[in-house]
Amino acid sequence: MTDKSLDTSKRNVPVLAGQSILSQVAWTLGSPSVVLPFLAVSLELPMYIAGALVSVRMVGSMISDVFLAYPIAARDRKKRAIAMTEVAIGACLILALLVASTGVVPVIGVAFVAAFFMIGLIEEIQSLMYTDLLGDQVRSKSRMIMHYLQLGVGGLGAIGLALLVHEITKENPPFSRHSAVIAVSVTFFVLSGLSILMMSETVGPTQEQGAQRVKKRKFLDNFTDIAAMFDQHWFRRYMIMRMPLVVVSLSVPFFALIAAEAHHDSARGLTAMIVSSASGYLVSAPLWQLVNMKSHRAVMVTGNLMVALTGGALLSVHFLGMDHDVHLHAIALFVVTVAVTGISSARKLYFLDVAPKDQRVKGAAAIKSICRISGVLLSAALAGVAHLHEVACAIAFIVATSVFAAVACYRVVIPSEKKAVLS
């Protein structure tokens, strides 16, 4: 890396850190895993639809992984496209909110399905571009520091804004309170999109050549690229660890669903869930950064065990009829948010360290495609269980899988990664 590119990287870190904080606030206040399912339940959508929204979002993401990974990798400049995705996600939220204001449940259901599909599609496009952008423009150590700064400051900002909106709107009807939260989220999506435009983006020769080759690809190449990744040893090893984490990642939306089922009429319900999840991000930053500097494996094993223990405790109080207090669900959501955030951060950082540059985007897309297909099927099945029986049954399956995931992470991930990828 030349001195000029090093200087550019140093200048970009503050810009990208600020942008990621704004984006974190936006995602927390408009979370498809917490806020939107809570809103769906409060609008009296059937539990199956509320739970299946997770699957719909994954279908959108899977389409991006399968069909758009190569064009994204070949794109020479990404910051403007990332800015557009932030604004587009905000537009999806606004449109869903406008339709929800009609009060017609079937129309609202269709609108939420469409919104979740588009959010999943756009979110994954953004994620693939952002992964490659960070890999090219920011050094490994800076990536880690920036990531945890995003979680900490973004979580703190979301808590403050959620409490402020709650105080201003606490006398309003439920839909008005929820709409105010979404409106603030959209504002921060727009601010995040504008802020990333201030970075300096350098373009390498590989990207320029890729831009010239992208038009020659065939339809089936999207699938053969995924199959070809299994020839790579690092990819196969990573997948052994990654697959059980698909189920663990569903803990946050399903913990939010059981909370929404019990407290969607409460004036404090949504605020408690937002503050709880944002506090999870805030605590995750210093906690997991300290552990992650020593071992990604320790983070993932501990996080999985936290999900298992918290889910087991929540199931106990649920079946004993002692879970009527909103604080119990808030605490449970807080713990699993801390756990899942730690797991997600560790596996992403681990991926950036082990994936070769020329396989980074295709590898990420292949992993996500396979995990998304599994996630769609599993989340749809769990939504069906939640609808036919109760959400607690779905959580019981997540708890059992979390224990297995902890064992898989312990056996696969090396305890102390060498931070050798500094470019």
pLDDT tens across 187-235, in order? 999 999 999 888 877 665 444 444 444 455 555 665 676 777 888 888 8
Q: What integer pLDDT is reported at residue 92 of this predicted model?
A: 92
For residue 73, what pLDDT band results from cuts at 50, 70 and 90?
A: low
Nearest one of 279, 277, 280, 266 to 325, comparing CA atoms: 266
Mean pLDDT of 290-300: 82
Q: What integer pLDDT is reported at residue 417 of this predicted model?
A: 44
Nearest one of 260, 265, 270, 257 to 162, comparing CA atoms: 270
For residue 32, what pLDDT band results from cuts at 50, 70 and 90?
A: confident
pLDDT tens across 11-23, in order? 778 888 888 899 9
Q: What integer pLDDT is reported at residue 418 of this predicted model?
A: 47
Q: What integer pLDDT is reported at residue 210 of this predicted model?
A: 46
DSSP state of 415: S
| C-alpha to C-alpha distance for 377 and 382, rounded to whole angstroms | 9
Query: CA 333, 337, 340, 342 torsion: positive or negative?
Result: negative
For residue 186, what pLDDT band results from cuts at 50, 70 and 90?
A: very high
Highest mean pLDDT among 28-42, 125-139, 158-172: 158-172
Mean pLDDT of 121-130: 86
Q: 176 pLDDT exceeds 80? A: yes
Q: What integer pLDDT is reported at residue 420 of this predicted model?
A: 41
Q: What integer pLDDT is reported at residue 302 of this predicted model?
A: 92
For residue 174, what pLDDT band results from cuts at 50, 70 and 90?
A: confident
**Average pLDDT of the chain, as a whole number:** 80
Q: What integer pLDDT is reported at residue 3 of this predicted model?
A: 52
For residue 419, what pLDDT band results from cuts at 50, 70 and 90?
A: very low
Q: 345 pLDDT exceeds 90? A: no
Q: What integer pLDDT is reported at residue 5 of this predicted model?
A: 54
Dihedral, CA atoms, 279, 282, 287, 291, nearest 10 degrees? 120
Task: Output the six-digit token pair for 173.
Answer: 């009807």
Which of the two residues, 282 and 418, has the higher pLDDT score?
A: 282
Please report the domains of the chain, with CATH numbers, ordered by start residue.
3-198+230-412 (1.20.1250.20)
| C-alpha to C-alpha distance for 314 and 312, rounded to whole angstroms | 6
Mean pLDDT of 339-350: 86
Q: What integer pLDDT is reported at residue 217 of this predicted model?
A: 52
For residue 119, what pLDDT band results from cuts at 50, 70 and 90?
A: very high
Which of the two residues, 212 and 340, has the higher pLDDT score?
A: 340
Mean pLDDT of 85-92: 93
